[in-house]
Structure 1
């Protein structure tokens, strides 16, 4: 008999003694279980064998939809394809689709593993993305769901939201290129769509503020000698905090007077595949050797901390807590409420002041920036000598700022014998003009 919606509705959920099969037309039938569950099935022959496959359950699939499904499967039969195998292939492909967590971790552990910020980016996903969407199949997350997630992150961490969006786009693109994903919905989303605008920072330290920061740093008993020297090195080199935190003693070559930062340890290394090479002037070499003496000879890190009875590189929290502590000391020693600053502002400070001593392209190389386009492609000169000359002049200026008591107003008195507890040896002090 031909099936009808009325008959299906009246028999759905109706208990019976045994399983019953009722045929429709064109190979369609229904299988009704003793508990009254109705399943649409298609009967057909393939490769001289009779076959039967489930195509849907009533009432989730209507009679009209079931007949349409049978018609589509018959088209596949005409092409010499087994509808059951095609269905199993689709199910297998669906189950093989990666979740948000799986595709993200695969990306971070392979394509992005060489990036200096990979560990931090991966941690951001573990905190902000995986708890909400980590178990979802990536291709099935809609643009609206991604937007909702990112707006939530924006509400408490705008900078993190921008970084997460940037990495999500990279993950989607990488996944599509390697055939792991089908959709690229996130590529249409921009930071401006999240009502987040990057305000470029313009904070740098003038000479008065440099004086306050350095003296407050080295007069403090609450800042370790290692951290004091790190602050000084950040100001001298204008390097990124991560480049100094993760530096190894072996990166500093005192015979050839260079500091080499491997590509995986600096921001532009993932793209350029080039190391940053900075010259070491004698005054700075003495300070670095003093820093190395603060840890055992077998410790590989230049500025280590002790964690779990082992030496490890300085943790990232260093760069957020130290400026606050220094500002407290500035208030204590100089009775000044200094404007907020960060360790990254020391990089901008160095770049601003070094412009007096070197042309722009040398200044940019000193900061580890890549030269623009064709220039950077064909000009592979490291300009070590011009850099060294600029570092020497910048070091002289810092010494002049630090020791200039007549120019700056200092609350209280600091005896001339201890005018600068710089951790400097007599040899180093002799180098200061």
Structure 2
């Protein structure tokens, strides 16, 4: 049976009974009629903010609150609830009522003059502390903004005051980054305030500096890669960190995928390294677990040898590169058999190692770009190099091209490892001329040696040789 659209007469003429009765409008508004004769509009709903319990909010008593106003408030409340707001919160509900019924007689604002200091206090209590967010970056608001603008109404901060604040920060020799973050965090605070109906405008928004997104294109030229691998000066780099770097170079994977690699991910019989989807960036972003797939890396001989060495010398019960932490057991200090190697220690060690050879402004992630760049220069299709680094296909090819490319990837990985060995064995001139693509005897020798299509059949010898 369809719900009835109530009329004002229906509510007005409804007589009280010995027990509470209700009238339900088709919009969902409920009118409660008490034995005392009081009539009030309300709504019962499933409250997502209170463990899905039934909650009730009231829109006001009839006839001070008309049925038409109750309907309008109800529609706004439903919309706010759908967008994730806690409409049971008096501040939120009062703001809704004030927005809908401009002259609502029973609306009593929480603050006669809601200032920026009030907003700061609510923001830290209702957002930062509630969500266990580290407050340190946001303390810039309390340190730089609140002392200057805290007394002003949150919705009526003059533009000149904000400009003057920025000028004062510059004159006090604050770093540009500090000023940028102060304005940015203030903007975020106001955005939160608007969603919670605590303010209507965001006066800081026009002053957020626009930053151009920089696309990083750095990679390691082959002569830098050669230096890092042969270590001509005999720099005392720890061997496990050297092996981590070598595994990153040979596999083109992310740093965490090597550092957190588990022994059971490696199958040396078929030469595959299977990285579970929770450690694969483009798979971990998928919401549906059924759509997530592991990333398979067909390993070269050199990568398999590197991983075997790491397991033998530095592995523990679970990880290829085990943690170096120790504990005192059986009257002696022993290395614990849990956890993976420290990313912080590796970064510090490898950074110092690279700087020793004058290799600066390079990151671990640049090694992935290095693999794709150099293999493309050797004539390997970008569809293959993209698959090797685990990047998703784009456009129509993502829908129509479902090729696994395992063997061609294996061929490319093996050629990449062989090419690195070739460059390390030769004079540095080969690496320099390859980077410059300079027509020369050395470049001709490289392209005569590394023909991708000719190697697809030869790659099967990885297994034939045992």
Q: TM-score, normalised by structure 1?
A: 0.54
Q: CA 1:153/1:365 → structure 2, altered by over 3 Å: closer, same or farther?
A: farther
**1:365, CA displacement in angstroms?**
0.8
Q: Does 1:403 align with 2:425?
A: yes
Paired with 1:219 and 1:287, the residues of 2 have a C-alpha distance of: 20
Paired with 2:313 and 2:272, the residues of 1 have a C-alpha distance of: 21
Q: How does 1:252-271 map to 2 (within 5 A)?
A: 252-271=266-285
Q: Does 1:314 align with 2:333?
A: no
Q: CA 1:128/1:313 → structure 2, altered by over 3 Å: closer, same or farther?
A: farther
**1:200, CA displacement in angstroms?**
1.8
Q: Does 1:205 align with 2:220?
A: yes
Size of the aligned set, in residue pairs, is: 293
8 Å CA contact 2:266–2:274 kept in 1: the answer is yes
Paired with 2:297 and 2:200, the residues of 1 have a C-alpha distance of: 41
Paired with 1:228 and 1:185, the residues of 2 have a C-alpha distance of: 54
Q: TM-score, normalised by structure 2?
A: 0.50
Correspondence for 1:155: 177
Q: Does 1:366 align with 2:388?
A: yes
Q: Does 1:219 align with 2:240?
A: no
SS in 2 for 1:387: helix
Q: Does 1:379 align with 2:393?
A: no
Paired with 1:183 and 1:375, the residues of 2 have a C-alpha distance of: 47
Paired with 2:179 and 2:306, the residues of 1 have a C-alpha distance of: 38
Uncovered stretches (5+) of structure 2, i.e. residues with no partner: 1-32, 40-59, 71-76, 78-86, 94-109, 111-121, 143-153, 158-164, 287-291, 328-335, 432-466
Paired with 2:342 and 2:422, the residues of 1 have a C-alpha distance of: 32
Residues 159-203 of structure 1: per-residue CA shift (max 9 Å, x gap): x99xx99xx89x98xxx9xxx9999999x979x953322222222
Uncovered stretches (5+) of structure 1, i.e. residues with no partner: 1-44, 52-71, 106-121, 134-140, 331-336, 410-433
**1:372, CA displacement in angstroms?**
0.9
Paired with 1:218 and 1:291, the residues of 2 have a C-alpha distance of: 23
8 Å CA contact 2:299–2:414 kept in 1: the answer is no
Correspondence for 1:48: 36
Higher relative contact order (CA 8 A, sep 6+): 1
Q: CA 1:90/1:345 → structure 2, altered by over 3 Å: closer, same or farther?
A: closer
Correspondence for 2:366: 345
SS in 2 for 1:259: strand
Residues 222-269 of structure 1: per-residue CA shift (max 9 Å, x gap): x22111011111111111112212221111121222112222212212
Q: CA 1:232/1:157 → structure 2, altered by over 3 Å: closer, same or farther?
A: farther
8 Å CA contact 2:241–2:350 kept in 1: the answer is no
Paired with 2:355 and 2:414, the residues of 1 have a C-alpha distance of: 31
Q: CA 1:287/1:89 → structure 2, altered by over 3 Å: closer, same or farther?
A: closer
**1:391, CA displacement in angstroms?**
0.8
Q: CA 1:129/1:243 → structure 2, altered by over 3 Å: closer, same or farther?
A: farther
Q: How does 1:237-252 map to 2 (within 5 A)?
A: 237-252=251-266
**1:280, CA displacement in angstroms?**
1.4
Q: CA 1:328/1:91 → structure 2, altered by over 3 Å: closer, same or farther?
A: closer
Correspondence for 1:274: 293
Out of 405, 411, 416, the position equivalent to 1:389 is 411
SS in 2 for 1:99: helix
Paired with 1:217 and 1:291, the residues of 2 have a C-alpha distance of: 22
Correspondence for 1:36: none
8 Å CA contact 2:240–2:321 kept in 1: the answer is yes
Q: CA RMSD in A?
A: 5.0
Correspondence for 2:23: none
